[in-house]
Amino acid sequence: MTKQYLLTVRYFFPMMLLVLLLFFLWQGLQRDPLQLPSPLLNKPMPTFTLASVENSKKRLTANMFFGHVSLLVVWSSWCVNCLAEHAFLLNARKDSRLQIIGLNYRDRLLSARHWLSQYGNPYYKVIFDPKGLLGMNLGVSGVPESFLLDEKGIIRYKQIGPLNEFIWNTEIEPRLGG
């Protein structure tokens, strides 16, 4: 009787293995494997010396991030999704708790200027990075991307993809403090 029973049970082994596998797959689905914390998180802003989009003779450096909470937004004139977050940024400019700084990434100077005059300029200053050098140091994988820096110029948060009301309320607002 027991032998017969054991013989029957063994046919259920594949099923049990499947259940185990499904458990792990199910748990795995709840996580995002790409969501690695950025290595730059809680690190200071990489140093750079780049021209400004508004005035090509003016040099901008990482010093501009000191003394102010800043939101660094990576954008390009050829990027369709940047337009999607643009209206939101124009609105967010009114918030006096932070300065919004643009990083114009892999773009032409004239198209960048034209884009800003056409759609409005939400930025306090815009860094011109035609070869994507600063972008590379920041680990930018696509546009738009945004970084939130505290008044000491330390990166506190990174957002991949366009900003919106929801991300602002859940991720940015709590980090701004008072």
Partner 1 sequence: MTFYYLLLVFSFLVALLQCVIPLWGSFWQRVSWMQLAKSMAWIQFLLLAIVFFGLGLAFFNNDFSLLYVAQNSNSHLPWLYRVCAIWGGHEGSILLWVFMLSVWTVAVSLSSKKLTLPTLAQVIAVLGFISAGFLLFLITLSNPLMTTVQIIMEGRDLNPLLQDPGLVFHPPLLYMGYVGFSVTFAFAISALLQGRLDREWGRLVRPWTLSAWCFLTAGIISGSWWAYQVLGWGGWWFWDPVENASLLPWLTGTALIHALLTLEKKELLKTWVILLAILTFALSLLGTFIVRSGILVSVHAFAVDPWRGIFMLGLLTLIVGAALLLYAVRVQHFTVKPHVLPIFSKEALLVSNNILLSVAAFTILLGTLYPLVIEVLGLGKLSVGAPYFNRVFTPVACLVLFFVGLSYLVNGTQTKVMQLCTRSICLLAISIGTSVLLLIFFTHGLQWKVMLGLALALWIILNTLYVIWRSKKLGLRQILQTRGAMLLAHFGVAVSAIGIILSSTYSVQRDVRMTVGDSVQLGVYRFILQSVYDLQGPNYTGAEANLQLINATKTYLKPQLRYYPVSNIALSKPAIDIGLWRDLYVALAEPLNDNTWALRFYAKPFVRWIWMGAVLMLAGGLCSIVQIKSKK
**Which residue has tokens 């730059």?**
40
The reply to whether 8 sits near partner 1 by the rule CB under 8 A is: yes
Does residue 103 contact residue 111 with C-beta atoms inside 8 Å?
A: no
Q: Which of residues 15-44 bind partner 1 (CB under 8 A)?
A: 15, 18, 21-22, 24-29, 31-34, 36
Give the nearest distance from C-beta 93 to partner 1 in angstroms. 25
The reply to whether 110 sits near partner 1 by the rule CB under 8 A is: no
Which is it for the CA torsion 102, 106, 110, 111, positive or negative? negative
Q: Which of residues 68-107 bind partner 1 (CB under 8 A)?
A: 76, 78-80, 106
d(CA 93, CA 91) in angstroms, rounded, equals 5
| Torsion angle of C-alpha atoms 93, 94, 95, 99, degrees rounded to 10 | 40
> How do the residues of the chain divide into helix, strand and coil, expressed in percent and rounded to 5?
40, 20, 40
> Taking contact as CB under 8 A, which single stretch among the options 5-13, 53-61, 90-98, 146-154 is the one that binds partner 1?
5-13
Q: Which is nearer to partner 1, 27 or 96 (CB)?
A: 27
The reply to whether 142 sits near partner 1 by the rule CB under 8 A is: yes
49: phi then psi, degrees, rounded to nearest 5: -135, 105
Q: Which is nearer to partner 1, 29 or 110 (CB)?
A: 29
- In the complex, the residues that contact partner 1 under the rule CB under 8 A are 7-8, 11-12, 14-15, 18, 21-22, 24-29, 31-34, 36, 76, 78-80, 106, 142-143
